[in-house]
Structure 1
């Protein structure tokens, strides 16, 4: 994998952060922390297009690789976040190879057999000298988080232009039958399923990505074979730190437990 695109597999896992808040200065500081990538969340994040644009500029300013998760498999939305500066796009709720192919084509120009419209309004490192050069620096990850996606995993990974998959374990655990994310009864099946996804991606030389609640969980997934791992989310890190500081100030042994994301 080059610094221009996260295509294929790295010698060591890429570790990233997740941004959900419309706070460009905070996003820039997260990017300066040394993460390999920072992904701006356009699906569940609390920001609109202007917020995503500002966040992507902040990630670039902070020296990290800017990614974006779009809210849906929309050619218009995929093109917009790439125009705004994303170097990679994560597409949710992919159930079939046909849907994965549509996402891959939306992220690339006709010179690379894609359908992306050319409009380099914000020139920068995310645009190459030619459309084909730009396409070479784009990474497309299909999210695996449904029963359909699991059943079509191999076909999705075999789609040309799909650089890998990104697992949403919260939704995936629900798809496997849990009443709530990470219900204890489902954990063995979830872990086995995650392992199968990592192996399938590795066999094809593609990215195996996964979303984690924290660094401890991220280390477990790295050992499992994942190569693109989100280890921190802005809002969860904020909750955890302010809770810990409040506990220290009040002389408590530990901070109140809050749900991570």
Structure 2
């Protein structure tokens, strides 16, 4: 593994591939002004949630513009599904990577990788004079070098096929969705103690498999302390909570401090 290098958005994909320790933040709100503020804090990347957040395709480009305005963090997008069309739309906004949910087989992983790469390595269409070309250039191979392809491990089938998924040529990283993965392991809700041991064992399996394959391995966490813990355990990148979660938490904390009572 190489040593840390100066943080800049253009280096994100290579830093990820080099398994450097990266910390990101999750964007669920469709508010470019708020995203721009967070983009200046120094996170290595901001992950925009196009699957479960309130932001859908029309907001993806505005979010990438907001991230780029500060020139510090890389903007990546979680697409709604492994659909190559959605992946292409996300990358055409100038995103420096995609996070693809519900990938369960090596065949799906190969399809996803090909959707992230231009001919001859893949099936991605050249974007032309839009944001991707403006930010990443117009040489297909050079664009591909700057785009990270990340698939999520969050189902029982994905765990069963873990080694084969990690061995997919061109895949840059796997990323654990702990809520869905814990449900797949029998949890009745995220944080259910009955599934805690099974989840921890699964996380070790994921970090070990990624390590054997020489690819990066990430996880979503609830706070910065948890990010530090997971990075120390072998994950190479971790994404902290979300803007909408922290907005509610901060508002609740101030209400309590002011002597108010939280609604049941």
TM-score, scaled relative to structure 1: 0.92
Q: Equivalent residue for 2:69?
A: 61
Alpha-carbon offset, residue 181 of structure 1:
1.6
Q: Equivalent residue for 2:123?
A: 115
- Between Structure 1 and Structure 2, how many residues are aligned? 253
Task: Provide the secondary structure at the position in 2 that maps to 1:195.
Answer: helix
Residues 1:203 and 2:212 are matched in the alignment: yes
Q: Equivalent residue for 1:216?
A: 225
2:98 to 80, 89, 94: 89
Task: Provide the secondary structure at the position in 1 that maps to 2:168.
Answer: coil
* Deviation beyond 6 Å, 4+ runs, structure 1: none
Q: Equivalent residue for 1:26?
A: 34
Residues 1:183 and 2:183 are matched in the alignment: no
Residues 1:235 and 2:244 are matched in the alignment: yes
Residues 1:14 and 2:11 are matched in the alignment: no
Q: Which segments of 5 or more consecutive residues in structure 1 lack a partner in the other structure?
A: none
Q: Which segments of 5 or more consecutive residues in structure 2 lack a partner in the other structure?
A: 6-10
Deviates more, 1:88-97 or 1:188-197: 188-197
Structure whose residues are more often helix by fraction: 2
Report if the CA contact (8 A) 2:26-2:239 is conserved. yes
Matches within 5 A, 1:129-140: 129-140=138-149
Take 1:257 and 1:129, find their aligned partners in 2: how far apart are those partners? 53
- Structure 1 pair 75–38 and aligned structure 2 pair: CA distance change class (3 A): same
Over aligned residue pairs, what C-alpha RMSD do you find? 1.9
TM-score, scaled relative to structure 2: 0.91
Report if the CA contact (8 A) 1:126-1:134 is conserved. no
Matches within 5 A, 1:33-72: 33-62=41-70, 63-72=72-81
